[in-house]
């Protein structure tokens, strides 16, 4: 359009046509060039909602029974009664062991006291003769033991007038009266006590004819 025609139109009240607005260049994806692409939120993933980790089932917070995780199945009355029975039995066995140990210690204490009292009773009262040459054998502790006596002591021993006590591995010849006192204090110490009224067959070692040679090992 020439300037003359343009001036004439302007004079008639026409306004000039507006210039077209320049649009920015765009990429193929329709976003303006130069601006970083923003990640679109996935469906259902709104701000504040944390998606469940991959591989974790949606019901991970519940137990296999459908209840909250960690919840246990309530025990039946039968299970409770059985547990109580086990607890009572265990306590009873424990008490029995404690009582048995207590009795064992008490017996050991009484034994020590009795032996100490016996040692005091028979101190320096043994009748063993260093010149005795007759071996008198007798059973004691499941074995055959022997003590050397004189001929007179052998007769008194077989008549029940003397007896034999065991003291710390030694065998002491004592009177019948002392033997009775020692038996009342600590009976296991009595090694040989002859009943004069008993048949001779009850003690085959009473007769000198049954003496065993000294060189024979029993």
**pLDDT per residue as tens digits for the range 43-102:** 455 555 555 555 555 454 455 455 555 567 777 888 888 888 999 999 999 999 999 999
Band (106; pLDDT cuts 50, 70, 90)? very high
* Of 34 and 191, the one with more pLDDT: 191
pLDDT of residue 217: 41
Q: With 60 as the cut, is the pLDDT of residue 110 above it?
A: yes
pLDDT of residue 206: 54
Is the pTM higher than 0.75? no
* Of 17 and 61, the one with more pLDDT: 17
Band (215; pLDDT cuts 50, 70, 90)? very low
pLDDT of residue 74: 75
pLDDT of residue 42: 55
Cβ-based neighbours of 16, under 8 Å, separated by 6 or more: 6, 10
Band (216; pLDDT cuts 50, 70, 90)? very low
pLDDT of residue 78: 82
Query: Is the distance from CB of 95 to CB of 101 less than 8 angstroms?
Result: no
**Dist CA 141 CA 164 (whole Å):** 13
Q: With 80 as the cut, is the pLDDT of residue 22 above it?
A: no
**Dist CA 147 CA 138 (whole Å):** 8
pLDDT of residue 77: 81
Cβ-based neighbours of 24, under 8 Å, separated by 6 or more: 32, 33
The partner residues of 148 in beta bridges, in order of sequence, read 135
pLDDT of residue 82: 87
pLDDT of residue 7: 72
Query: pLDDT, tens digit, for every residue of 137-187?
Result: 999 999 999 999 999 999 999 999 999 999 988 999 999 999 999 999 999
pLDDT of residue 39: 53
Tell me how far CA of residue 72 lies from CA of 62, 76, 186, in angstroms. 12, 12, 63
């Amino acid at each position: 359009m020439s300037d003359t025609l343009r001036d004439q139109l302007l004079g008639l009240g026409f306004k000039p046509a507006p210039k077209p607005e320049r649009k920015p260049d765009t990429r193929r994806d329709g976003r303006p060039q130069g601006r970083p692409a923003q990640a679109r939120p996935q469906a259902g993933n709104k701000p504040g909602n944390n998606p469940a980790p991959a591989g974790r089932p949606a019901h991970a917070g519940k137990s296999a029974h459908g209840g909250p995780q960690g919840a246990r199945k309530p025990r039946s009355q039968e299970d409770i009664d059985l547990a109580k029975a086990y607890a009572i039995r265990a306590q009873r066995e424990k008490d029995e062991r404690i009582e048995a140990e207590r009795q064992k210690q008490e017996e050991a204490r009484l034994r020590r006291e009795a032996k100490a009292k016996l040692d005091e009773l028979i101190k320096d009262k043994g009748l063993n003769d260093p010149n005795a040459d007759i071996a008198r054998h007798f059973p004691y502790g499941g074995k055959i033991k022997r003590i050397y006596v004189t001929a007179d002591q052998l007769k008194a021993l077989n008549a029940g007038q003397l007896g034999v006590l065991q003291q710390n591995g030694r065998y002491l010849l004592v009177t019948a009266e002392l033997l009775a006192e020692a038996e009342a204090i600590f009976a296991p110490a009595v090694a040989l006590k002859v009943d004069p009224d008993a048949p001779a067959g009850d003690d085959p070692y009473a007769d000198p004819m049954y003496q065993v040679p000294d060189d024979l090992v029993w």
